[in-house]
Amino acid sequence: MIQRSSLDFRRLLLVYYAATIIFLMLDYGFNVNVRVAALEAFPGLRAGYYLVILACLGLMLWRPAWTTAIGVVESLATLVALIMNMALRSMIVTDQMLETGVGFITTAEIFNFLISGSIAYFSWHRGMTQLFGPPRV
C-alpha cells in the first residue's frame, strides 16, 4: 500500500509540474495569468518562476527518485514566497498605494494564493511524511 501511495504522489507531482506548460501558454499566449498572479507586475520574476518550475519537472523526469525531495523543497519555497507576498502587501500600505489605488491585493491574487498555497502545503506535508514518516504527536 505504501508503494502505491508513493507512486500516486509522484505521479500527481509530475502532473502538477507538467501543467506549468499549460499555465505558461495561458499566461503568455492569452494574457490569462492564473498560476503566478502575484508576480504580474514583475515579468522577469514571473519568467524566472516558470523556468524554475520547468527545471524541477526536468529534474523529476531525469531522476525520478528525487521527485519527493524536489517537491518538498519547491513547495516550501512557494509557501514562504506566497505568505511573505500576501503579508507584506496586506499589512504595509504605502502612500503610493493610497494615492494611485494600485498595489492592493487583487481577487486573482487571492485565488492564486488559495490554489497555489493549498497545493504547496499538501505537497510539502505529503512529501515530508514520505521522507521522514508520519508526524509523532
**65, 80 in Cβ contact below 8 A?**
no
> What separation in angstroms does the CA of 19 have from each of 24, 75, 96, 130?
9, 15, 36, 23
18: in domain: yes
Residue 70 lies in a domain: yes
Q: What is the pLDDT of residue 1?
A: 45
Within a 10 A sphere around the Cβ of 56, how many other Cβ atoms? 21
73 part of a folded domain: yes
Which regions in the chain score pLDDT beneath 70? 1-4
In this prediction, residue 3 carries a pLDDT of 61
Structurally, the chain folds into a number of domains equal to 1
In a domain, 137, yes or no: no
pTM assigned to the model = 0.78
Using CA atoms, how far apart are residues 91 and 101, in angstroms rounded to an integer? 15
Q: pLDDT tens across 15-29, in order?
A: 989 999 999 999 999
Find the domain containing 116 and state its range: 2-132
Cα distance between residue 24 and residue 36, in whole Å: 10
Distance CA 69, CA 121 (A): 14
Output the pLDDT for position 41: 75
- The answer to whether residue 51 is domain-embedded is yes
